[in-house]
């Protein structure tokens, strides 16, 4: 096989010598084949076309419906001569479209790779030109193998084309500058994908940060996803099995119907995705939060996605990141074409209304500046079709692919007008509240059946047990209470909080809803145990490593003293 490949390459180089030295050879491995073989399951960076399945240097062209597309950028108008490198079992009529001009020829039967002159075209203007190979639709039993095209003439001077077999459009980014002095605990962003700019194999990332990323993806013609992932610590780039426990991200919680697993090959870490049929021309909201613990050098990152049809936030996942202990940093967005078989298609996304929350004072700050950049495909000059702008309605626009002239320079700064549309985040309105309530009740009933807990009764969803009868008055919701308490997780009995030497004193109305419901079943001087479903505890919020989102909480509370509110 190696000898065959070498022969093909050598023949291409030899064939190119019939032109002047400036003539160019475009391998078919740089071309795009349409239509795609939809329905074929692809892994990242795998190609579905026949020329990769054991034939990396030529394409087995056996279907008349298939077309082969090359793209070049002409920088000097003039004559463009076209030749085709092929072998073919029987004579085959062919059409070669160079822009709007169609050249026709017949490929003769030949058992060895041969070069055929197709014709020449006058290129009257500069810019991108598409060259397409096709055959009549009624062609039957075709068995051609295409190695590439050869271009000559004055128009090839300074001509640009991607000479690499990696056909992905360049990934494009927006980086949002934030002062180092800001302790960023929340990052909010919005994405709108215009109609027609959402081809498969595209990831539109809204909330990127130093340890992860969060956005929406087109996986196939039938499936779309919301994706939130967080990187491990350490330097392993490929295989997560090689990452030690001290460096591994740990999943704390995930939303209903969210799938979680590992990822690798671009760094390693914890991955979560929610299969969701997001649509073009609809604005989607994203929120990432960070709860940093400098003592343990860990940070909990949580991703929340707003479901517009329910007008509620949904937890995607919450991950504990080791060797961190820092707030959100390195904020950015991007658009990526992650499989190159359709890298000729244009992708576009609008990113609008970016905000961060400062953990020092809880204040929200709008981000109105972004710096444009692109990946190594753009840096190496393999692809030069990308750009950015600010739209008339004040959003940052990113686009890539489509073989259009670039509209932004690397490092270019864009500023959008402030909208003063601060995000409203209401974690009590959980998109998964009904299903989560069912999970909580099942967990509580299982614990009761297993005699892990006992109850006296229930009140408004809170299960309770009177451990010691008090002699004073019943607690009122408006009271300030002085208590000793211990809080544990129903799941594993671990203690997440408790009083020690001194009791705690606080207005009951300032505490979680479960306390306000359950504690009034106890008299002053008494002790009560309350079991609180997550929906009336902390819900999907990330409070600490000790209290994961969607946790059922158990409290033992001794009511030492009650103080009525003034005027009561």
Query: Has residue 420 been placed in a domain?
Result: no
pLDDT at 546 over 60: yes
The neighbour count for residue 365, using CB atoms within 10 Å, is 15
Q: Does 389 share its domain with 247?
A: yes
Q: Does 14 share its domain with 132?
A: yes
User: How many structural domains comprise the chain?
Assistant: 3
Query: Has residue 162 been placed in a domain?
Result: no
Task: Judge residue 126's burial from the number of C-beta atoms within 10 Å of its C-beta, 0-12 exposed, 13-18 middle, 19 or more buried.
Answer: middle
pLDDT at 102 over 60: yes
CA-angle at 329, arms to 326 and 333, nearest 5° = 145
Q: Does 33 share its domain with 98?
A: yes
Q: Does 345 share its domain with 446?
A: no
**CATH assignment at residue 555:** 3.10.50.40
Mean pLDDT, rounded, for 210-232 = 97
Q: Does 348 share its domain with 478?
A: no
pLDDT at 196 over 60: yes
Among 415, 442, 462, which residue terminates a domain? 415
Among 98, 124, 156, which residue terminates a domain? 156
Q: Does 241 share its domain with 373?
A: yes
**CATH assignment at residue 380:** 2.60.120
Query: Has residue 188 been placed in a domain?
Result: yes
Query: Has residue 519 been placed in a domain?
Result: yes
Q: Does 141 share its domain with 204?
A: no
Among 415, 442, 473, which residue terminates a domain? 415
Query: Has residue 427 been placed in a domain?
Result: no
**CATH assignment at residue 70:** 2.60.120.260
In 3D space, the residue among 296, 559, 520, 535 whose CA is nearest the CA of residue 432 turns out to be 535
> Does residue 426 sit in helix, strand or coil?
coil
Mean pLDDT, rounded, for 143-164 = 95
Query: Has residue 85 been placed in a domain?
Result: yes
pLDDT at 9 over 60: no
SS3 content of the chain, % helix, strand, coil (to 5): 10, 45, 45
Owning domain of residue 11 = 2-156
Alpha carbons 174 and 470: distance in angstroms, whole number: 61
Query: Has residue 161 been placed in a domain?
Result: no
pTM passes above 0.75: yes
**Token pair listed for 275:** 């299969």
Predicted pLDDT of residue 141: 84
In 3D space, the residue among 545, 549, 496 whose CA is nearest the CA of residue 322 turns out to be 545
The neighbour count for residue 331, using CB atoms within 10 Å, is 22
Q: Does 244 share its domain with 273?
A: yes
Q: Does 73 share its domain with 202?
A: no
Query: Has residue 442 been placed in a domain?
Result: yes
Alpha carbons 446 and 459: distance in angstroms, whole number: 19
In 3D space, the residue among 121, 148, 151, 120 whose CA is nearest the CA of residue 133 turns out to be 148
Q: Does 398 share its domain with 486?
A: no
Convert the pLDDT of each residue in 68-94 to its tens digit. Answer: 999 999 999 999 999 999 999 999 999
Query: Which of the four pLDDT bands, split at 50, 70 and 90, describes residue 8?
Result: very low
Predicted pLDDT of residue 137: 85
Query: Which of the four pLDDT bands, split at 50, 70 and 90, describes residue 57?
Result: confident
Q: Does 148 share its domain with 186?
A: no
Convert the pLDDT of each residue in 290-333 to its tens digit. Answer: 999 999 999 999 999 999 999 999 999 999 999 999 999 999 99
Mean pLDDT, rounded, for 141-158 = 94
Convert the pLDDT of each residue in 434-449 to its tens digit. Answer: 999 999 999 999 999 9
Predicted pLDDT of residue 5: 40
**Token pair listed for 114:** 């041969």
> Does residue 93 sit in helix, strand or coil?
strand
């Amino acid at each position: 096989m190696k000898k065959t490949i070498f022969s093909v390459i050598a023949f291409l180089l030899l064939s190119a010598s019939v032109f002047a030295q400036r003539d160019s050879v475009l391998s078919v491995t740089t071309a795009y084949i349409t239509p795609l073989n939809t329905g074929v399951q692809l892994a990242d960076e795998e190609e579905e076309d026949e020329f990769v399945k054991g034939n990396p240097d030529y394409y087995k062209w056996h279907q008349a419906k298939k077309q082969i597309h090359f793209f070049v950028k002409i920088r000097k108008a003039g004559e463009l001569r076209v030749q085709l490198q092929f072998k073919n079992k029987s004579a085959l009529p062919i059409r070669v479209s160079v822009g709007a001009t169609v050249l026709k020829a017949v490929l003769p039967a030949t058992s060895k790779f041969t070069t055929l002159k197709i014709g020449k075209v006058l290129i009257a203007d500069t810019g991108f030109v598409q060259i397409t190979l096709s055959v009549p639709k009624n062609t039957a039993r075709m068995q051609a193998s295409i190695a590439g095209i050869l271009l000559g003439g004055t128009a090839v001077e300074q001509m640009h084309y991607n000479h690499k077999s990696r056909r992905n459009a360049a990934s494009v980014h927006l980086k949002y500058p934030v002062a180092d002095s800001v302790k960023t605990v929340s990052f909010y962003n919005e994405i709108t994908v215009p109609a027609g700019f959402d081809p498969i194999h595209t990831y539109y990332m809204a909330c990127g940060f130093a340890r992860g990323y969060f956005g929406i993806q087109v996986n196939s013609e039938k499936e779309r996803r919301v994706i939130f992932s967080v990187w491990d610590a350490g330097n392993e780039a490929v295989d997560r099995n090689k990452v030690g426990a001290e460096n591994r991200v740990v999943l704390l919680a995930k939303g209903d119907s969210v799938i979680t697993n590992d990822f690798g090959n671009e760094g390693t870490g914890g991955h979560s995705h929610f299969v969701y049929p997001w649509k073009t021309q609809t604005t989607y909201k994203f929120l990432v939060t960070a709860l940093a613990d400098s003592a343990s050098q860990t940070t909990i990152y949580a991703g929340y996605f707003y479901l517009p049809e329910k007008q509620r936030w949904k937890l995607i996942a919450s991950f504990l990141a080791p060797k961190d202990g820092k707030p959100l940093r390195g904020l950015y967005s991007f658009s990526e074409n992650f499989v190159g078989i359709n890298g000729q298609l244009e992708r576009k996304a609008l990113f609008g209304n970016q905000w961060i929350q400062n953990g020092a004072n809880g204040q929200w700050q709008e981000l109105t500046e972004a710096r444009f950049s692109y990946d190594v495909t753009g840096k190496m000059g393999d692809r030069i079709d990308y750009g950015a702008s600010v739209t008339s309605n004040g959003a940052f626009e990113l686009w890539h692919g489509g073989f259009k002239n670039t509209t932004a320079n690397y490092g270019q700064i864009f500023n959008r007008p402030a909208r003063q549309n601060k995000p409203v985040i209401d974690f009590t309105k959980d998109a998964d509240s009904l299903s989560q309530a069912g999970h909580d009740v099942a967990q509580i009933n299982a614990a009761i059946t297993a005699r892990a807990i006992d109850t006296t009764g229930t009140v408004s969803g809170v299960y309770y047990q009177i451990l010691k009868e008090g002699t004073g008055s019943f607690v009122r919701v408006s009271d300030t209470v002085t208590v000793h308490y211990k809080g544990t997780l129903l799941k594993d009995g671990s203690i997440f909080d408790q009083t020690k030497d001194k009791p705690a004193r606080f207005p009951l109305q300032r505490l979680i809803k479960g306390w306000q419901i359950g504690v009034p079943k106890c008299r002053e001087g008494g002790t009560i145990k309350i079991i609180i479903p997550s929906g009336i505890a902390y819900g999907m919020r990330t409070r600490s490593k000790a209290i994961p989102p969607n946790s059922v909480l158990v409290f033992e509370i001794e009511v030492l003293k009650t103080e009525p509110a003034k005027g009561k």
